[in-house]
Amino acid sequence: MIETIMLIVVIFVLSGVFWYSFFYQKEKKLLNRLQQMLDCAVDGELERTEVSEEKYSALENSMKQYIDSSFLAGKNQQEQKEVIQKLISDIAHQTLTPISNLKIYGEILSEVSNENQEEIATILEQTDKLDFLIQSLVKLSRMESGIIAVHSEDTTIKQMLESIQQQFNVKVREKNITLSLCDTDLHVRCDSKWTVEALGNIVDNAIKYTACGGNVQIKVEQYSFFVKIDIIDDGIGIEKEEIPKIFGRFYRSLSVADQPGVGIGLFLAREIIQAQKGYIKVTSKRGKGSTFSVFLPIAKKE
Amino acid sequence: MNILKAVNLRKIYGQGETEVRALDGINLEVEKGEFVAIVGTSGSGKSTLLHIIGGLDNPTSGQVIVDGQNLSHMTDEELTIFRRRNIGFVFQQYNLVPMLNVWENIVLPVKLDGKKIEKGYVNEIINTLGIRTKLENLPSALSGGQQQRVAIARALAAKPAILLADEPTGNLDSKTSQDVLGLLKVTSKRFHQTIVMITHNEEIAQMADRILQIEDGKIVSDSGLV
């Protein structure tokens, strides 16, 4: 009697263990399969592995549908963005010709007419401002829409600095500012055309906000991963609270409201430098001058 | 998208006359991909804030919500697992495991979670941070700046929702600090990593997109780029 009971108990226990391990294995297999499915989905390579009445297959199908629809939504968004950028770029292009015509006729008018010289000068100044604004917008929209990609390559800093010096020769002489460059043989990884544009915008600001007879200096220093290009002026400086704002689009300090400008130069400069895996830092003291430090990735020696 | 939200955080030590309000009603929101610096003098409450945001300490009152998850509703065990998966830390003293080499240190949090290591992603981080040649070395054979870069790589490898840095360059000279922070900034942009960094150094704070100033447990200014 006891033996029979013992036997029944043993049979129950054994079958319990069997079923438990059976379901445990099954669940583990299913979870592994699901993990694999999600891993594939993360990599964007989800394919239906089977089509059957099994729950797993239905799950796989739903997952595939979800991924497809979110991919589509992302694509739609991208397309809408491109449409807007195209529009901006079209507007910018179509305005370039009328603006240059305005400039030419304004200049002719100031040459032939002796009256209203003050008003003509204002018109010309405002046209210049509009011109700069539109040109900057063209550059921005081209960069953002990827029409002009930034091609980083091994570039000598010396060459870029020389081209900047050439670019600002006239402006510097007009204000009697000393623009001094340091001698350097360092190389960085960047797109020289765009970088000159960015550095040019910073130098242009430095000259604009420095009094006649002042100094603008460009210094270069090597770090382990970056090269620092300092643009140092002894101009009006920037209030500490204002420093984070100056790179904002269309931001203009109240203290320079009387100076011409549209507030896009520094924004563009920062975009260009960031697109090249670099960054810009500013230190400044009101009334003492500002230092803009541009960090660009150093070119690795082959 | 909001990745971090702190609602009316208070932390009070002691009682009665010896009461110290380390945090006194902090409200804060951080967007995904933002690089935020919290500046303040020592004793201003910035470290307490970071510890509470990271779930290393509990607030006296108030709530912290990281990636939609309310930390105050979690048990200690849940918190440990949540931290490992979603919060990356970079400390002033690096906190690398001395017996493990650089590669092992970097992939440790991913391995602890029992996940497959995404070799491509980890290698990209390693290349960006310039530690490819050091992978076989033990931490003791590295300079401070290199160790901190390894710590940053380790924090990034787990793809945390948010990376918290506590005076990451406190032990480094100014030139190395600039290098490490520059790399942190560049990697954060590249991998869309949300970073909250605390520092007492305003020049370092300037590397961030947004600067919060904290004084006596309160946020006194919040300036960001437009």
Taking the CA of residue B172 and the nearest CA in chain A, the distance in Å comes to 14
Note whether B210 contacts A: Cβ–Cβ < 8 A.
yes
Chain B residues closer than 8 Å to A224 by CB? 130, 145, 176, 179
pTM of the complete model: 0.76
CA distance B56 to B76: 10
Q: Is A168 on the interface with B (CB under 8 A)?
A: no
B178·A223 Cβ contact <8 A = yes
Inform me whether the C-beta atom of residue B88 falls under 8 Å from chain A C-beta atoms: no
In this complex, which of A223, A245, A279 lies closest to B185 when CB atoms are compared? A279
First to last CA, chain A: 88
The secondary structure of residue A213, as a DSSP letter, is T
Separation between Cα atoms, residue A179 and residue A161, nearest integer Å: 11
Mean pLDDT per 10-residue section of chain A, whose length is 302 residues:
90 94 91 84 78 83 86 87 81 85 90 85 87 81 69 89 90 89 88 90 91 91 90 89 80 76 83 88 88 89 52
Q: Which residues of chain B from 174 to 203 reach within 8 Å of chain A, CB to CB?
A: 175-176, 178-179, 182-183, 185-186, 189-190, 203
Of A32-36, A255-259, B32-36, B79-83, the one with minimum mean pLDDT is: A255-259
Provide the pLDDT for residue B36: 92
Residues in chain B within 8 Å Cβ distance of A41: none
Distance CA A12, CA B39 (A): 67
Confirm if B169 and B11 have CB atoms less than 8 A apart: no
Q: What was the pLDDT predicted at A145?
A: 65
Mean pLDDT of chain B: 88
Note the residue count of chain B: 226
| pLDDT confidence of residue B183 | 85
**CB-based contact (8 Å) between B39 and chain A?**
no
DSSP category for residue A299:
P
Q: How confident is the model at residue B6 (pLDDT cuts 50, 70, 90)?
A: very high
Taking the Cβ of residue B222 and every Cβ of chain A, the question of whether any pair is shorter than 8 Å is answered with no
Cβ contacts of B145 on chain A, cutoff 8 Å: 224
Residues of B in contact with A282 (CB under 8 A): 206
Domain B2-224 matching CATH 3.10.450.40: the answer reads: no
AA identity, residue B216:
D
Show me where the domains of chain B are located: 2-224
Chain A residues close to B210, C-beta within 8 Å? 244
Give tens-digit pLDDT for B137-174.
999 999 988 999 999 999 988 888 899 999 888 888 88
CA distance B74 to B69: 9
- Across the interface, which of B130, B206, B225 has its CB nearest the CB of A248? B225
A225 at the B interface (CB within 8 A)?
Answer: yes
SS (H, E, C) chain B: CEEEEEEEEEEEECCHHHCEEEEEEEEEEEECCCEEEEECCCCCCHHHHHHHHCCCCCCCEEEEEECCEEHHHCCHHHHHHHHHHHEEEECCCCCCCCCCCHHHHHHHHHHHCCCCCCHHHHHHHHHHCCCHHHCCCCHHHCCHHHHHHHHHHHHHHCCCCEEEEECCCCCCCHHHHHHHHHHHHHHHHHCCCCEEEEECCHHHHCCCCEEEEEECCEEEEEEECC
Helix, strand and coil percent figures for chain B, each rounded to 5: 40, 30, 35
pLDDT of residue A233: 92
pLDDT at B4 exceeding the cut of 90: yes
Interface test with B, best of A272, A295, A301 (most B CBs within 10 A): A295
Q: What domains appear along chain A, each with residue ranges and CATH number? A: 153-297 (3.30.565.10)
Instruction: Check CB contact of A277 with chain B, cutoff 8 Å.
Output: yes
Residues of chain A neighbouring B177 (CB-CB closer than 8 A): none
Residues 6+ apart with CB under 8 A from A193: none
3-state helix, strand, coil in chain A (%, to 5): 60, 15, 25
DSSP bridge pairs for B195: B35, B163
- Token pair, residue A26, equals 């099954």
Q: Is A299:A249 a contact under the CB 8 Å cutoff?
A: no
Q: Please determine, for the modelled complex, whether the ipTM score is greater than 0.90.
A: no
In chain B, residues with a C-beta closer than 8 Å to the C-beta of A228 are 178
Q: Are B117 and B111 in contact (CB under 8 A)?
A: yes
Contact between residue B37 and residue B205 where contact means Cβ atoms under 8 Å apart: yes
pLDDT bin (cut points 50, 70, 90) of residue B204 is: confident
Residues 29-68 of chain A with CB under 8 A from chain B are: 39
Residue A144 is encoded by which pair of tokens? 């953002």
Chain-centre distance of CA A68, in angstroms?
A: 29
**Residue ranges of the alpha helices (H) in A113-191?**
117-144, 157-175
What pLDDT score was predicted for residue A21?
A: 94
CB A184 within 8 A of CB A159: no
B182 contacts A223? CB cut-off 8 A = yes
* Contact state of B178 with A228 under an 8 Å Cβ cutoff: yes
Picking from B189, B190, B211, the nearest residue to A244 by CB comes out as B211
pLDDT for position A302: 47
Residue B167 falls in which region: left (phi positive, over 0), alpha (psi -120 to 50) or beta: left
Helix (H) or strand (E) holding A57: helix A55-112
Is there a contact between A282 and B206 if contact means CB atoms under 8 Å apart?
yes
Give A-chain residues touching B226 at CB under 8 angstroms. 245, 248-249, 251
Confirm if A146 and A86 have CB atoms less than 8 A apart: no
Six token digits for residue A64: 């595939």
The pLDDT assigned to B226 comes to 45
